Structure 1
Amino acid sequence: MEHTFQIQNLKCGGCAHTIITRLEELEGISNVVVDNDAHSVHFSYNKTKELESVMTLLSTLGYPAEGESNPLTKKAKSFVSCAVGRLNS
C-alpha cells in the first residue's frame, strides 16, 4: 500500500535526507520519496498501524502533517533535523 502526507516545515534537501533516512528505519516502511516543492512525503507501507508510526516520527522530527499543531518547538526541531540531514548527505 502507498500513502502521501502533506507536511509542514519542509525546507530543503537536508530536511528530505533526514526524513528519508529516519522513515526507512521504521519496520514496514519503504520507497520513501520527499517532494520539497509539494511539501509532501510519499512511501510504501505494509500495515495501517504503520501510518501512525510515520505521523508520530515526522512530528517528532519537526515535520507535523498539514493541519496539525505546529508550535515554535516543532519549527525549531525541523531546523535541527535539517542541519543533521545536511551534514549526513
Structure 2
Amino acid sequence: MKKSFEVMNVKCGGCANRVKEALKEEFGEVEVDVEQKSLTLEIEDAQEEALKKKLKELGYPVVGDENGFFTKAKSFISCAIGKAQS
C-alpha cells in the first residue's frame, strides 16, 4: 500500500538523496518532497516500525517521534553524505 509520512529535518536535495539511497535496498523506491517534508513509498503495515527506526537513525524522524539534539546532528551528517552522493 502506498503511504506518506511527514518527517522532520529534511532541508534540501542532499537530505532527500540520503533518504532515498539509505531506504532503497530495504523499502524500494522512495519519493521525498523537500517542500512538504514528506516521503511516500509502497509499504506494508508490518514494515512501518522498521521504517521509522531507520529514519530516526538517519536523523529524519517521523513527525511525533523524538527530535533531540543528536537526531538533528545526525541529519546534518546525512545531508552532507547525500550531497556527496549526487
Query: Taking structure 2 as the reference length, what is the TM-score of the superposition?
Result: 0.95
- Candidates 28, 31, 34, aligned match of 2:32: 34
SS at match of 1:68: coil
How far 1:70 sits from its partner (Å)? 0.6
How far 1:66 sits from its partner (Å)? 0.7
Give unpaired runs (5+ residues) of structure 2.
Answer: none
Q: Is residue 84 from structure 1 mapped to residue 81 from structure 2 by the alignment? A: yes
How far 1:30 sits from its partner (Å)? 2.3
Give unpaired runs (5+ residues) of structure 1.
Answer: none
SS at match of 1:37: coil
Identical columns (%): 38
Q: Deviations over 1:32-88 (max 9, x none)?
A: 10000000010012x322111111100100001111111000000000000000001
More helix by share: 2
How far 1:23 sits from its partner (Å)? 0.9
User: Match for residue 43 of structure 1?
Assistant: 41
User: Match for residue 23 of structure 1?
Assistant: 23
CA-atom RMSD, angstroms? Answer: 0.9
Q: Which amino acid in structure 2 is aligned with residue 54 of structure 1?
A: L
- Runs of 4+ residues over 2 Å off in structure 1: none
